[in-house]
Structure formats: structure tokens, C-alpha cells
Amino acid sequence: MSFDTKNRRYGFSQMHARPVFTWPNGTGLAVYFALNVEAFEFGRNPGPDFTTMPTAPFHRGFAYRDYGNRVGITRIHDAFAEANRPLAILANLSVYDACPEILVPFRKRGDEFVGHGKTNSERQVDMAEADERSMLLSVRERMTREEGQPPTGWLGPFISQSAKTPELLVETGFKYMLDWWFDDQPQYFATDNGPIVAVPYPSMEMNDIPALINRGLSDSDFERMLFAAFDQQLAESARTPQVYAVSIHTFLMGQPHRVGILKRLLSHIAKHQHDIWFTTPGRIAEHAEKVLERPSVSTLEGATP
């Protein structure tokens, strides 16, 4: 498969003109939070340290992210445990080797574990097809062994995909992906191996890294954005079902001056608990397969733009 100028992965439709459905509890707004739990190889660039251009051995960026696993993740866990709300844990495979104990409390809670690559020190777009297939299989096999069941969902490190990633996800047993954010409802996504469900994931907006770091929003700006989006989508969901999703990282939202944002947001959402379905992306994907019309042509070869 090669790139062309037409999108053959999914057809166009306006959300408000589609058939209406409800989530399993009869509500119109599904809500989930995704916690990125990542480990990096020391000496390789983990990404910007947000002060100056990083240079080898990249110790500041490494230490900043390591803080999230050593300290921040506990604050986030406690906020969600106190609110009795589920999380989706987007875990690098390397976390199982570097600091497996930080995953235990989430496993005990029954949170969903989502595949998130071997390490955030590599990107799928840089991989040969055979290497990417091998990576996906190794993630699936290791997480099955550690969690007692295979992961059904996937988010690539750095939300990176190769031209064949969707095909390889279906081939290796994944049921849904979070890499493509083009809608506020789950949608079927065509591949050469049959369809895969694309679950909305806030890769560009309600995600702490692009908001706080790339765009430089203040903490209060980010908090207002999270509240405003929830209120708007809740109002719209009375006539159009939607997904409200928030993506967070341990080293950002686990800071002592930011975890309060999560607590206040969870408290605000709780005021509307009878009007929402607080869930995980895996359960959203499962329900989507029941209520969405399966495409008559589900392969890329026969898909129309």
C-alpha cells in the first residue's frame, strides 16, 4: 500500500445527521480518561525537556519523566480511587521491566490495560513492516502474560503510525485503536485485513502535553478547557451520542500543583453521573460493534473515499 491523495480509510458523514444510539446505561455521553504510563531508555532522547533544546545524555528529560513513575502516578491513582472511577492505562512494555510495581494498584482496581508500544524511545513510522509486526506481537504476548488477558486496544508511541499499522493491528489481534482522532463517535476504519474500530482519543486537544507544553496553556486555561468541553458535549449528547475523553501523563498531571485539576473535574462530572457512562475505551469499542452499521466493504482495497 502506498499513500495517495484520497482518504480510503473511512467515509465522510456529519455526526449530527447519523442514526442515534445510546450507551449501555441509556445515556448519550461516554466518558473515559487515558493515563499514559511510559518508560524511556536512558541516553536516548525521550522528547523535549521543555526548557531548552535537549542534548545528550538527555538527563533532564529522562529525570522529568521518571518523576512521573516515581511520584506522580500515585497521586493520579489516588484521585481516581477516591472518586471510584476507572482508568485506561496506556502502558509501554518497558514499564514491566523498569518499574512493574507501579502497575499493580491499577491491576487490582480492574482498570483496562491498552497496548502502547515497547518503549516511547521508538516510533512505528520508523519501523520496517516485519519489525513492526514483531513489536506488536511482543507487546500483545507480554501484556497477556502479565495481565491475564490480551489487550484489545492500541495507541502508538507518539501516536505514530506506519502506512501498514492498521493492517498489522488487525492481523495481530487488536480490536480498536486510538491513533486516529477524526470524530467524537467511534467509527469503523478500513484496512486490507478487515475493519478496526477507531475510538476517539484527544491527541490534539484535551491532552495535557499538547495543551500545556506545545501550546503553552496555563494550568487554569487547561482546567477551563476540560470543563467547557464536558459541559458542551453533555448538552449535545441529549440528541447526539458522543465520547468525552481526556489524555494525561504521569509527569504532568501527577505534579502536586496539577492533581487538583483532576479532582475538581471528577467532582464536576460526578454531579452528572446519571447522564453519562463513565467507562473505558475498550468497552466503548465493544458497544460500537453492536450499534454501528458494519461497512459493507471493510477492506482498504474496496473502500471508497
Q: How far apart are CA 210 and CA 37, in angstroms?
A: 17
Residue 206 lies in a domain: yes
Give, in degrees to the nearest 5, the angle at Cα 256 between 250 and 258.
70
Task: Determine the structural domain holding residue 45 and report its residue range.
Answer: 26-292
Q: Kindly report the number of other CB atoms within 10 A of residue 273's CB atom.
A: 12
Per cent of the chain over pLDDT 90 is: 77
Query: Where does the pLDDT of residue 305 fall: very low under 50, low under 70, confident under 90, or very high at 90 and above?
Result: very low
Question: Residue 189 domain-assigned?
Answer: yes
CATH number for position 183: 3.20.20.370
73-126 pLDDT, tens digit each: 999 999 999 999 999 999 999 999 999 999 999 999 999 999 999 887 788 888
Amino acid of residue 197: V
Rounded CA-CA distance 1/143 in Å is: 29
Q: Identify whether 80 is part of a domain.
A: yes
- 304: in domain: no
Average pLDDT, the chain: 91
Summarised one tens digit per residue, pLDDT across range 138-147 is 999 999 999 9
Any domain includes 9: no
Mean pLDDT of 281-299: 86
Residue-wise pLDDT tens digits, 219-252: 999 999 999 999 999 999 999 999 999 999 999 9
Are 86 and 110 contacting, i.e. CB atoms less than 8 angstroms apart?
yes
- Measured CA to CA, the distance from residue 232 to residue 223 in angstroms comes to 14
Q: How many domains does the chain have?
A: 1
Task: Provide the pLDDT for residue 42.
Answer: 75
